Structure 1
Amino acid sequence: MLHVLRLTYTASESDAAPHVPGHVAFLERHHAAGTFLLSGQTVPTEDGGVVLAAGGLDADAVRRLTDEDPFVQAGVARYDIATVTPGRVHPALKELLADGGGKTS
């Protein structure tokens, strides 16, 4: 199972700018823990970003995790969450998904 986290700005990029360092620290912490497998800005960048989160977390735990993002806490962004149970998986990803998608925090 994977979770696709779609970050959407609810305020302007300039309103979000002061919270970027905290948001980056949030991402780095969860990448280091193995909870986040991929994160990045969408194109165009003013739309927001996407995070792929490892399985092993239920929907409530994922929501609590996204609520910790400084962007969310400041009210400048929100997350929409889609949980995916992979049906077909590229061989390069099979090992990642075999243990529930990595570590959880």
Structure 2
Amino acid sequence: MFIISLTYKVELEEVDKHLDAHIAYLKDAYANGNFIASGRKVPRTGGIIFSKVKNRDQLETILKKDPFNQAGIAKYDITEFIPGMVADGFETLKEV
């Protein structure tokens, strides 16, 4: 599993210009099974995405298509981890 932490490199007014395209990108990534959760950071300095794609190369290819990435709006920090324990109802997050 991967945690992607986006940090905005520009003011929010510039981020907002690309927000509709970013949301469309996220919806497509969910439809393709690439992302399992996402949302804004509080305060709004970026966002977080959870992904269960097979490997980092695949993830980096997917992230290159993000309009935020293409416009140079956000920095992407990727952390890979293996969930060893999960709460009831989240068993699908564990690797088999």
Runs of 4+ in 1 over 2 A off after TM superposition: 95-99
TM-score with structure 2 setting the length: 0.89
- Structure 2 spans left out of the alignment, 5+ residues: none
Extract unaligned runs of 5+ from structure 1: 100-105
Higher helix share: 1
Aligned counterpart, 2:42: 43
TM-score, scaled to structure 1:
0.82
Identity %: 32
| Residue 24 (structure 1) aligned with residue 52 (structure 2) | no
Letter in 1 for 2:48: V
Contact 2:9 2:73 in 1 (8 A): yes
In the alignment, what sits opposite 1:90? 87
Q: CA deviation at 1:88?
A: 1.3
Distance between the aligned counterparts of 2:60 and 2:34, measured in 1? 13
What is the aligned-residue RMSD (CA, Å)?
1.5
1:78 to 2:81 alignment: no
Q: CA deviation at 1:8?
A: 0.7
Q: How many residues align?
A: 96
User: What does the per-residue CA deviation read over 1:9-38, in whole Å, with 9 as the maximum and x for residues that have no partner?
Assistant: 011111122111110001111112222111
| 3-state SS, counterpart of residue 10 of structure 2 | coil
Corresponding letter in the other structure for 1:52:
F
Q: Give the letter aligned to residue 30 of structure 2.
A: H
